[in-house]
Structure 1
Amino acid sequence: MVIVPVRGIEQSKAGLPRGTHRMTVGVEEEFLIVDRDTGIPVARGPRVLDAAVPVLGEQAQTEFFGAQVEVCTRPTPSLSALRAELALLRKVMGEAAAGEGCLLVATGTPAVPPGRPLTVTPGERYERMAARWPALTGGYDGMVCGCHIHVGVTGHAQALALANHMRPWLPTLQAIAANSPFSLGRDSGWASHRSVEYARWPGVGPAPLLDEAGYERLADHLVRSGTLLDRRMIYWHARPSEHVPTLEIRVCDVNADLDVVVLLTALVRGLATSLMPDIGNGQPPPNLRDPRLHAAHALAARRGLTGEGLDPARGEYVPALVMAERLLERAVPGLAATGDLDLAEELFDRVRRSGGGAARQRAAHLRRGRLTDVVSELARTTAAA
């Protein structure tokens, strides 16, 4: 995926102050491929991709397990264009899945467990990862699907500066995106059980405070020491991309409701745009206590938008929805600058009323107590985009 910043847009054309940069955005979505009748994840991803690639090209990609596929958007400064492209990618991939007797499902973890041990997608890198970390790939609970949001930057230095300043807000973004309450055929008790399973991999967690030189030293150490296979396994919640000029936010579950994805993207870009003046003025990033930041992420994964959240900067427990409102408020200057404020407020209100993806999954299950109903509802919502 190639995502680049659009620079020097005049105020008369983009509604931005003269000389500012309007960040492009891009999204990667990972999906489950499940049997149409049983809802069980099935390793037909390679066959689904064979049908989708002639239409989507490199925007359709493999994922770690054979029961997964991924789509990637092109860079765009327009949220409406992003939404339209994501809808098209889902449509084509969903039709390819239907041709294999399957459904395309956007959820962080499978509600119905696989009927047999998971199959890793053939390929040299995936096979090396499976061989090095067999405990993470040989069972039923290792398959997770995320939504990765990219914003265009000028290079690693700007990406790292933004990552440093965004750290206090990422638990709240995680809570808004929570969409994986079911795992191994039961309610896990978490709003985002994907966060729990994904954290078993090395390299997953909050990004450390780093400048460009510090990043290079740490990245080299992690690979040379064997902690990670390569730099692509730096799975921090916010990381500079190694192959395109973007900051990548990796803390979100994939969501069936495409409007949630658009909201998350708007908040990420709005927050990044709002923080750029602080970075430009040399204001240091919040120096958060690591235990408090980890606790905030754990609470976001556990509760989603229900109950308490933890503000890692202030050290206070407040309702998760209050934290979400604070995030929206902090992003307002950036949202207004890019013309996305009205849309973000409308989509935020919808999520606030619905309770988010985890609440919707649990509501679908509550009607008849059937996990297949959850899968059917997820598949319908994924396709409705």
Structure 2
Amino acid sequence: MDPAAEGTTTISPQLAERAERSDLHTLGIEEEYLLVDAVEPRAVETVDEVIDQVPEQMRASVQHEYLRSQIEVASPPQLELSSLYDSMRVLRTTLADAAGRAGSRLVAVGVGPASGPNSRLVDNPRYHRMRERFGDLSPGQGSCGTHVHVSIPDDETGVQVLNHLRVWLPTLQAATANSPVFGGHETGYASWRSVMWERWPTVGPTPYLQSHEQYLTMIADLQASGAMLDEGMLYWYARLSASYPTVEIRMGDVMPTLDDAMLLAALARGLVATLVQEVHAGAVAPDVPHPLLMAAHWRAAKDGLEGTGIDLATREPRPAWRLLRQLVDYVRPELERHGDAELVTVLIDRLRTRGTGAARQRALLAKGTPVAGVVDWLARTTRGEM
């Protein structure tokens, strides 16, 4: 996502009023995609041509990303998960059709699986300043993630929610893993994007913060240090939106199916809603040491859901799937209150049966499918054909 512009749609007054009356939390999602050649698996720099093919009435939800082989969509905020699904289905289908007319394919994958030349920057003055200061920290053809926005009552509550979120985000990261292949080779990681993304100086777990004032001071100090150009480069795994009254959860790969994306969105909302209640009840977030948080995120990137995670409450290794089930049980009351529990049960069973995007790509490779075939599968899955 363009770090300076967190989406392009604003919440309507009617939706905001309904959310306030009902004490429910709205949510929205942003997805970044890779553009690949219509025949070959390599990425192509067709973002301008694709955007030109998007119908005018949908342009507000589509935007450039950092590289010319990437494109991003942002959903309108929603109360109903089914409405969010419908909105994202239309956006994915519309963008896939536009990519086809521009001679390319839309692929929901964390990094470019096939080898090929590095993509050039989008011609944006801010991006050129980023390259000038930070160098080539995004080699390859594009790094594509998913960001979920969940509404919060105020910034002070939001900062305390960020503190509580820290122990749960490695598990959500494992569930989104969708980038095991890079440059034509299996990397040994379920999410190679996570490894590449950590090159940027402000990427990592959100620090433990005492107040919103400290949050703002930290942003100012990081800008003064030169580690980021502006607030948009605050790449913590969860942060307060600079534009909307939301917590933004942003550590995950873009996922191949809408089922996967909707599961993440529902769990993110259930988690934030649960933690708002905890904050209001005076619960104190555990101050887990930063090295242990980093280890948990590394484990999530390495194994995805198919291996081992770290239970940050006990500090012991646990099967990653058990940790995800534990998270679902923890947020179930809020899933039920928001009307998401039944669908989450279906989606978690589908994820268990199919595996993460990383697991499905690895299964194809294990059968002898070439990388080009994996990219074909990703393109069809992104369109909803698989």
2:40 and 2:298 map into 1 onto residues whose CA distance is: 32
SS in 2 for 1:168: coil
**What residue in structure 2 maps to residue 97 of structure 1?**
99
**What one-letter code is carried by the residue in structure 2 that aligns with 1:374?**
V
Alpha carbons of structure 1 residues 7 and 128: separation in structure 2 relative to 1, 3 Å: closer
Question: Contact (CA 8 Å) 2:151, 2:247: kept in 1 or not?
Answer: yes
- 2:135 is equivalent to residue 128 of structure 1: no
Return the alpha-carbon distance in structure 1 between the equivalents of residues 217 and 373 of structure 2: 49
- Residue 201 of structure 1 corresponds to 200
Q: What is the CA deviation profile of residues 258-293 of structure 1, one whole-angstrom value per residue up to 9, with x for unaligned ones? A: 100000000001111122221001111111111111
* 2:72 counterpart residue number: 70
SS at match of 1:368: coil
Q: Which residue of 2 aligns with 1:341?
A: 341
User: Matched residues in 1 for 2:289 and 2:137: separation?
Assistant: 29
Structure 1 unaligned residues grouped into runs of 5+: none
Deviation at 1:368, TM superposition (A): 2.8
CA contact (8 A) 1:104 1:379 kept: yes
Alpha-carbon deviation of 1:4? Answer: 7.7
**Aligned 1:135-150 pairs, distance under 5 A:** 135-137=136-138, 139-140=139-140, 143-150=142-149
1:369 to partner: Cα distance: 3.4
Query: Which residue does 2:4 correspond to in 1?
Result: none
In the alignment, does 2:219 pair up with 1:228?
no
The one-character-per-residue Cα deviations of 1:244-264 (angstroms, maximum 9, x if unpaired) are 111100011101111000000
2: CA distance, partners of 1:27 / 1:19: 23
- Partner secondary structure for residue 167 of structure 2: helix
**What residue in structure 2 maps to residue 110 of structure 1?**
112
Asked if the contact 1:4/1:244 (under 8 Å) is kept, the reply is no
Contact 2:159 2:240 in 1 (8 A): yes
Query: How many Å apart are 1:361 and its aligned residue?
Result: 0.9
Contact map agreement 1:272 1:334 (CA 8 A) in 2: no
**What is the one-letter code of the residue matched to 1:127?**
H
**Pairwise CA RMSD:** 1.7
Residue 20 of structure 1: how far off its partner (Å):
5.5
> 2: CA distance between counterparts of 1:369 and 1:340?
36
Measured after TM superposition, the shift of residue 202 of structure 1 is 1.6
* Aligned match of 2:271: 271
Gap runs ≥5 in structure 2: 1-6
- Kept in 2, the 8 Å contact 1:53–1:60? The answer is no
1:7–1:22 Cα contact (<8 Å) kept:
no
Q: Which residue of 2 aligns with 1:181?
A: 180
Q: Which moved more, 1:19-28 or 1:40-49?
A: 19-28
Conserved? CA contact 2:51–2:59, under 8 Å? no
Offset at residue 166 of structure 1 (A): 1.1
Q: Is the 8 A contact 2:53 2:102 kept in 1?
A: no
- Displacement of 1:63 after TM fit? 0.3
2-side partners of 1:315 and 1:37: how far apart? Answer: 47
TM-score by length of 1: 0.94
Query: How many angstroms does 1:377 deviate by?
Result: 0.5
Tell me how far apart the structure 1 counterparts of residues 111 and 12 of structure 2 sit (CA, whole Å): 31
The alpha carbon displacement at 1:313 in A equals: 2.3
Counterpart secondary structure, 1:239: strand
Which digits, 9 at most, give the CA deviation of each residue in 1:30-85, with x for residues without a partner?
00000011111011111111221624122000000000000000011011000001
Q: 1:4, 1:245 within 8 Å by CA — same for their partners in 2?
A: no
Contact 1:94–1:103 under 8 Å retained in 2:
yes
Return the alpha-carbon distance in structure 2 between the equivalents of residues 274 and 160 of structure 1. Answer: 14
Go from structure 1 to structure 2 and tell me whether the alpha carbon gap of 1:369 and 1:213 turns closer, same or farther (over 3 Å shift).
same
Shift in Å, 1:354: 1.7
Does residue 164 of structure 2 align to residue 162 of structure 1? no
User: Aligned pairs, how many?
Assistant: 375
Counterpart secondary structure, 2:59: helix
Structure 2: how far apart are the matches of 1:174 and 1:192? 9
Alignment of 1:1-385 (within 5 A): 1=7, 2-3=10-11, 21-52=23-54, 54-114=56-116, 116-137=117-138, 139-140=139-140, 143-210=142-209, 211-384=211-384
Contact 1:3 1:25 in 2 (8 A): no
In structure 2, distance between residues paired with 1:36 and 1:340: 37
Residues 323 and 97 from structure 1, CA distance in 2 versus in 1: closer, same or farther, beyond 3 angstroms?
same
Give the fraction of aligned pairs with identical amino acids, expressed as a percent: 38
Cα distance in 1 for partners of 2:39, 2:195 equals 28
Structure 1: how far apart are the matches of 2:367 and 2:356? Answer: 17
